[in-house]
Structure 1
């Protein structure tokens, strides 16, 4: 039986208030019942929104892809624990990705929240975050390529399978779409994160110029140089087709024949 999406917040209210997202090693979520619960709930919620959602079990690579995406789909830094919880619910697709506002100033504001941080400490935090992101991208790309290649073989095998019914084929197709949309989402959020880092660096230097800004600039350049590694993994328009960003407006074309 499918749980209606409108009923999900009622069932999750206690869990949301009781726990928040915790990061484990290498930019992955910390293992625990909470993250497992919201991942399962997210699949149901995505299906209710008619987003790609498959009930098939995950391969090891697919599970690792989801774990590695956690770093890029969660905020680099937040000022509010509740916003961190909402971000984790969005990452799991309990909430749609489209609800999050565009906030390039958010990371800078979070850096300034800690009054005990010196200007040098703020630059160092920015450098550490950008370098950590940059170092995780090659491993994510290699894993994403393996998943995409496996999906291509999966789709090619479907016409030759004699025991699959329509439901089985649909679950396979939905899993392929899920994987591609996840990769597109990480690609999109990596660009958004770079914008936030750039905003923070420029504003920090205007506020408190310091030689430590040089190292932060180098870290940001490293991340910016590695982000294009994500580009060829899925089609350029994948974010639009997955509903992560709105389609660009198409200008009305003048008629080919004008009557006078």
Structure 2
């Protein structure tokens, strides 16, 4: 078959894969403990994302995942998907980005997004919005150390992988390239979660500030304590990857420009009188 025909066929297959992935992306559902729900649909989306990332020239190794690498990706789900998933289309776009069908820097976002989802729809009492905000922040705070522990094990395994390569005589260029790509994939995923954690903190603070002005309630004090606990755990991510990892992985560009991070005020949000 001529080269041109093969190229066209490859492009048609890629387009078909992307289209099918888009149609089924909405079926990707969250399971327990902030992980994706096991199933054929989620597996298909992740596989399609690997092919899409590879076509864009991003690190996408053809190696099987270790147990910890698979768990790392499951644990990252919580931080890469919207905290307030009330809009189906937004969830679909987020899942296409999380699975790498779309590039990580593509998905636009804003600090208002979470607050808009929090206040969308009918609710019996505004107090329920404070409870939902506190629950979302608390879940992130509880799951972050679990992600960090898994990431640390993956990094240790990657170090062993790289050291072993210098002693293995039967490896060829393909083996070495695949190993290095997997290490880069793991590092970039950790950096992506770190970036998203910073953005989530900004969204939560934005929501608390606006909620306190819109519907004042003593419940804000509890939300603030929960947010402070989450912020206190955020530095756990820093030793895992270099400070400029987001830039190296091309994560920061479009996302950071699209999100205006709300700086933390010098004084507490909830004042005591």
Give the TM-score of the pair, scaled to structure 1.
0.90
* Distance apart, 1:161 and its partner CA: 0.8
Q: Which aligned segments of 4 or more residues in structure 1 are displaced greater than 6 angstroms?
A: none
In 2, the alpha carbon distance for the partners of 1:5 and 1:218 equals: 52
Counterpart in the other structure of 1:70 = 77
How do 1:1-260 residues align onto structure 2 when only pairs under 5 Å count?
8-18=14-24, 19-246=26-253
In 2, the alpha carbon distance for the partners of 1:246 and 1:207 equals: 33
Q: Secondary structure at the match of 1:27?
A: coil
Cα gap change, 1:87/1:51 in structure 2, threshold over 3 Å: closer, same or farther? same
* Distance apart, 1:176 and its partner CA: 0.3
Q: Secondary structure at the match of 1:23?
A: coil
* Distance apart, 1:97 and its partner CA: 1.1
In 2, the alpha carbon distance for the partners of 1:167 and 1:96 equals: 25
**Conserved in 1, the CA contact under 8 Å of 2:105 and 2:253?**
no
**Conserved in 2, the CA contact under 8 Å of 1:4 and 1:48?**
no
Give the TM-score of the pair, scaled to structure 2.
0.86
* Distance apart, 1:246 and its partner CA: 2.9
In 1, the alpha carbon distance for the partners of 2:47 and 2:17 equals: 13
CA RMSD in angstroms, aligned pairs only: 2.0
Cα gap change, 1:20/1:170 in structure 2, threshold over 3 Å: closer, same or farther? same
**Conserved in 2, the CA contact under 8 Å of 1:5 and 1:48?**
no
Q: Secondary structure at the match of 2:62?
A: coil
* Distance apart, 1:100 and its partner CA: 1.3
**CA deviation map 1:132-190 (0-9, x unaligned):** 00001111111101100110111111121111110011000000000000000001101
In 2, the alpha carbon distance for the partners of 1:17 and 1:214 equals: 42
Cα gap change, 1:121/1:8 in structure 2, threshold over 3 Å: closer, same or farther? farther
**Conserved in 2, the CA contact under 8 Å of 1:65 and 1:143?**
yes
**CA deviation map 1:170-225 (0-9, x unaligned):** 00000000000000000110110010000000000010100111111111111111
**Conserved in 1, the CA contact under 8 Å of 2:69 and 2:154?**
yes
Structure 2 stretches of 5 or more lacking a match?
1-5, 257-273
* Distance apart, 1:11 and its partner CA: 2.8
